[in-house]
């Protein structure tokens, strides 16, 4: 992020959110969330443990569970050797609490603190992570789940498991590999790793009786890897995406999870006593088990059939798409792209000069964070953004502070999401109600891509 200090102050003043800054007085009574250096056994048994950066020293960070409609308050304590911040991904949050260093707050210096205190309007599966040098800080292990429990109408399950799926780049002595700023990664798929964990464990296991009904909350916390998932010995439904309930649960039949995306599944263990149910990742031939459920015994659960939809969250319905405010976003650059240069610091530069400044991508011809928003909308307006991925790579586009729906060419609407996977060459249109005032990022969640130029912002007044 390259907002100057002056722009940073303007950005803050431009959003009414300052009014909701929490009072200092409550700080001491607020539980801490401390980011610090720690050690964790990520690598297979027989390897040493690994130095990681972790919230409360745990990998993943603590799972925060809060009832819908209540507030969450945490005193973020930065014990890292680098400035940091906490972004509460997918929460339709008050702007000043969004945790974007350089846009909604200044980065929290080592040894300093920041009080996060915000309401949780929507139930579902969310997560938190740093929003300052996130391409390094998340690769070192900083992330955790934020679960907002349904106020009523929670599905009946025997087990509710959060599975944070991560992709690490490790050395053969089980250290986190360096090279965070390598432009080769930035211009290609991002920092793709060589070791996959679930909840920080390369062989995550949970014993269950056959016929157990589980809610599995999957979160892709990887910097850049897109997971193609399959299951074995489980059958069920996808009931929510990116926290938001589907109007109709969809039978589970493979699942693509781009970085930052979530899926809530309701599945029954169909594997028999003595067998094993598996969650598989398909990047290796025949699939690779990332989570296993050894089956012991049989639950005497009743036959339950398809789950009813989760209760909807309080989303404003989209207004008339014909008269909606519109913007276009062209994504360019990267390896094998057609781009020859872009605007940086207000002047046109070539790829070589861009690369020297760590930029390899551009949004609408700009490789650094623009001074003016992509779009400025009045509160309550419906906004459409047509996005064209004119690159040779897939991107996971994330909008802060709002959920959107994809508008298909025939006008039909996709599910509410906060992160949209776009394949190479793909175009997509998204629509949302701009009902959350403030300045909000729109960026690729392949973290090397956003750092390398794929970042813009919008303003809701
Ligand atoms: Cu998950 Cu801009 O963030
Ligand atoms: Cu990208």
User: For the purposes of burial, counting CB atoms within 10 Å of the CB of 127, is it exposed (0-12), middle (13-18) or buried (19 or more)?
Assistant: buried
Residue 305 lies in a domain: no
Residue 232 lies in a domain: yes
How high is the pLDDT of residue 86?
A: 98
The dihedral region occupied by 452, where left means phi > 0, alpha psi between -120 and 50, and beta the remainder, is alpha
C-alpha 1 – ligand 2 centre gap (Å) = 15
Q: What are phi and psi of 437, to 5 degrees?
A: -65, 145
Q: Give the containing element (helix H, strand E) for 137.
A: helix 134-137
Q: What are phi and psi of 95, to 5 degrees?
A: -55, -40
Task: Write the pLDDT tens digit of every residue in 265-312.
Answer: 999 999 999 999 999 999 766 678 999 999 999 998 888 899 999 999
Residue 312 lies in a domain: no
Residue 309 lies in a domain: no
Look at residues 83, 116, 113 and name the one whose alpha carbon lies nearest to residue 101.
83
How high is the pLDDT of residue 25?
A: 47
C-alpha 331 – ligand 2 centre gap (Å) = 9
C-alpha 321 – ligand 2 centre gap (Å) = 27
The CATH number assigned to the domain holding 232 equals 2.60.40.420
Looking at the fold, whether 120 and 168 belong to one and the same domain comes out as no
Q: Is the dihedral of CA 241, 245, 248, 252 positive or negative?
A: positive
Does the beta carbon of 449 lie inside 6 Å of ligand 1? no
Looking at the fold, whether 271 and 336 belong to one and the same domain comes out as no
Residues in the chain: 461
Q: Which residues pair with 441 in a beta bridge?
A: 457
- Nearest 5°: the CA angle 198, 285, 447 is 45
Looking at the fold, whether 351 and 423 belong to one and the same domain comes out as yes
Looking at the fold, whether 88 and 176 belong to one and the same domain comes out as no
CA distances from 225 to 126, 220, 283, 344, 426 (A): 18, 8, 10, 28, 18
C-alpha 252 – ligand 2 centre gap (Å) = 27
Task: Report the nearest atom of ligand 1 relative to the CA of 400.
Answer: 2
How high is the pLDDT of residue 302?
A: 81
Looking at the fold, whether 290 and 206 belong to one and the same domain comes out as yes
Residue ranges in the chain whose pLDDT is less than 70: 1-26, 284-286
Residue 311 lies in a domain: no
Look at residues 246, 243, 245, 278 and name the one whose alpha carbon lies nearest to residue 261.
243
C-alpha 359 – ligand 2 centre gap (Å) = 13
Residue 168 lies in a domain: yes
Own/partner contacts of 36-43, CB < 8 Å, gap of 24 or more, are 36/79, 36/80, 37/79, 37/80, 37/81, 38/141, 40/141, 40/200, 41/201, 42/168, 42/170, 42/174, 42/195, 42/197, 42/200, 42/201, 42/202, 43/170, 43/174, 43/195, 43/202
Ligand closest to CA 421: 2
Residue 310 lies in a domain: no
> Of 94, 127, 149, which one is at a domain's C-terminal end?
149
Looking at the fold, whether 229 and 331 belong to one and the same domain comes out as no
> Of 251, 280, 298, which one is at a domain's C-terminal end?
298
Looking at the fold, whether 439 and 387 belong to one and the same domain comes out as yes
C-alpha 182 – ligand 2 centre gap (Å) = 15
Ligand closest to CA 420: 2
Looking at the fold, whether 167 and 124 belong to one and the same domain comes out as no
Does the beta carbon of 262 lie inside 6 Å of ligand 1? no
Looking at the fold, whether 283 and 336 belong to one and the same domain comes out as no
> Of 298, 316, 341, which one is at a domain's C-terminal end?
298
Looking at the fold, whether 259 and 358 belong to one and the same domain comes out as no
Query: Hey, whose CA ends up nearest to atom 3 of ligand 1?
Result: 89
Looking at the fold, whether 27 and 127 belong to one and the same domain comes out as yes
Q: Which residues 6+ apart lie within 8 Å of 41 measured at CB?
A: 49, 50, 201
Q: What's the domain count of the chain?
A: 3
Given the DSSP bridges, would you call strands 455-460 and 113-119 parallel, antiparallel or unpaired?
Answer: unpaired
Structural domain of 382: 325-460
What is the reported pTM?
0.93
Query: Hey, whose CA ends up nearest to atom 1 of ligand 1?
Result: 89
Residue 100 lies in a domain: yes
CA-derived radius of gyration, the chain: 21
Task: Report the nearest atom of ligand 1 relative to the CA of 129.
Answer: 1
Task: Read off the DSSP letter of residue 454.
Answer: -
Dihedral Cα 323, 419, 95, 4, nearest 10 deg: -100
Task: Report the nearest atom of ligand 1 relative to the CA of 127.
Answer: 1
Task: Report the nearest atom of ligand 1 relative to the CA of 260.
Answer: 1
Does the beta carbon of 72 lie inside 6 Å of ligand 1? no
Looking at the fold, whether 16 and 96 belong to one and the same domain comes out as yes
């Amino acid at each position: 992020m390259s907002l100057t200090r002056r722009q940073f102050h303007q950005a803050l003043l431009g959003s009414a959110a300052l009014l909701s800054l929490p009072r200092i007085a409550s700080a001491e009574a607020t539980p801490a969330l401390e980011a610090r250096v720690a050690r964790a056994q990520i690598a297979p048994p027989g390897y040493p443990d690994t130095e990681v950066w972790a919230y409360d020293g745990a990998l993943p960070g603590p799972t925060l569970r809060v009832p819908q409609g209540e507030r969450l308050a945490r005193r973020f304590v930065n014990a890292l050797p680098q400035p940091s911040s906490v972004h509460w991904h997918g929460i339709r949050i008050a702007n000043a609490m969004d945790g974007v260093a350089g846009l909604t707050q200044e980065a929290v210096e080592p040894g300093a603190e920041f009080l996060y205190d915000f309401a949780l309007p929507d139930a579902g599966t969310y997560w938190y992570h740093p929003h300052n040098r996130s391409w390094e800080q998340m690769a070192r292990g900083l992330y955790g789940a934020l679960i907002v429990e349904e106020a009523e109408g929670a599905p009946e399950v025997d087990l509710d498991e959060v599975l944070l799926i991560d992709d690490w780049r490790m050395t053969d002595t089980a250290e986190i590999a360096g090279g965070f700023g390598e432009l080769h990664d930035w211009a290609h798929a991002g920092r793709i790793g060589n070791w996959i964990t679930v909840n920080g464990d390369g062989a995550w296991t949970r014993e269950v009786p056959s016929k157990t009904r589980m809610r599995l909350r999957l979160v892709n916390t990887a910097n850049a890897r897109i997971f193609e998932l399959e299951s074995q010995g489980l059958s069920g439904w996808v009931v929510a995406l990116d926290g938001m309930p589907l109007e109709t649960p969809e039978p589970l039949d493979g699942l693509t999870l781009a970085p930052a995306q979530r899926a809530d599944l309701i599945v029954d263990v169909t594997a028999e006593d003595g067998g094993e149910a598996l969650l598989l990742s398909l990047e290796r031939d025949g699939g690779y088990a990332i989570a296993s459920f050894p089956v012991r015994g049989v639950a005497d659960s009743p036959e339950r059939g398809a789950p009813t939809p989760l209760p909807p969250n309080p989303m404003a319905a989209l207004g008339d798409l014909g008269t909606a405010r519109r913007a276009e976003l062209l994504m360019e650059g990267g390896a094998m792209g057609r781009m020859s240069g872009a605007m940086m610091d207000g002047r046109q530069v070539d790829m070589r000069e861009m690369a020297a400044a760590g930029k390899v991508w551009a949004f609408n011809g700009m490789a650094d964070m623009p001074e003016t928003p992509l779009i400025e909308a009045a509160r309550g307006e419906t906004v459409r953004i047509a996005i064209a991925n004119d690159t040779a790579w897939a991107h996971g586009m994330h909008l802060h502070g709002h959920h959107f729906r994809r508008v298909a060419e025939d006008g039909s609407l996709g599910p509410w999401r906060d992160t949209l996977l776009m394949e190479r060459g793909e175009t997509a249109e998204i629509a949302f109600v701009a009902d959350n005032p403030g300045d909000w990022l729109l960026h690729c969640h392949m973290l090397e891509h956003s750092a390398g130029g794929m970042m813009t912002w919008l303003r809701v007044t």
